[in-house]
Amino acid sequence: MKALVTGASSGIGRDMARYLSSLGYDLVIVARRENLLEELKKDLKTNVEIEVLDVSKEENCKELFEKHKDIDLLINNAGFGLFGEFTEIDLDKEISLIDTNIKATHILTKLYAKSMKEKNKGKILNVASIAGFMTGPLMSAYYASKNYVVELSSGINEELKKAKSNVRISILCPGPVDTNFNNVAGVRFSVKSLSSEYVAKYAIDKTLKGKEIIIPGIGIKILYGLNKLSPRFISTELAYHTQKSKKK
């Protein structure tokens, strides 16, 4: 068994790699920071290959697939957020977010889903967020990117089911997690964050069982249910005030 994990140098991606190794998976770990990947490799018990690259670059995603086609589990975890007024956030940073959160996930999902479908085996775990079901003023680009991941993954999964394929796509949709995401995005959360170790293990276990929508934590499950029942204008207004309270 072999898994490929993007964004593996820290946070959820790192802890997913650790847990997968404990389950006996050989690994391809991908990130931009070589020193952190080397440190992680030392902790892992199985065979590990390191790929130091930026998945926001289209050619890197294609080269990654060509080099590592024989993968049983793909985890698209690389991503980040930005906080602030849409009219004030630097455009280049937003384009980088789109290239990482959307474009890289789309390309790798496309390439590996096609390959897996031909072999009639394999799983893909796309890391989204509970934000993927919501509108997110003050983090509009991030929320929109995770909406894209959720809807893309669900659509493909339905196509695979209709084709009677054994390939499945799962979508991880956590709330706040104790990672470096908050520092990069420039936010703080008023609610208690789940540990990345817990979220990583929960997500992998559910993915291996074939679950599509994976939401760790009872509080976030309740929020997900309430959001589905709330009129859009109310949920958007609440999201704005919630987002505003996160500002550091």
pLDDT tens column, 219-237: 887 876 776 666 665 566 6
Pairing of strands 2-6, 26-31: parallel
| 0.85 exceeded by pTM | yes
Whether 142 is catalytic? yes
Q: Taking a C-beta distance cutoff of 8 angstroms, is the pair 104, 32 a contact? A: no
Other residues' Cβ atoms within 10 Å of the Cβ of residue 1: 12
Residue 168 near residue 123 (C-beta atoms within 8 A): yes
* Cβ atoms within 10 Å, residue 86: 12
| pLDDT tens sequence across 138-163 | 999 999 999 999 999 999 999 999 99
State which amino acid sits at residue 235. S
Residue 22 pLDDT > 90, yes or no?
yes
The one-letter code for the residue type at 97 is L
Backbone angles phi and psi of 176, in degrees to 5: -60, 130
pLDDT > 70 in the chain, percent: 85
Of 19, 25, 112, 142, catalytic: 142
What does the chain come to in residues?
Answer: 248
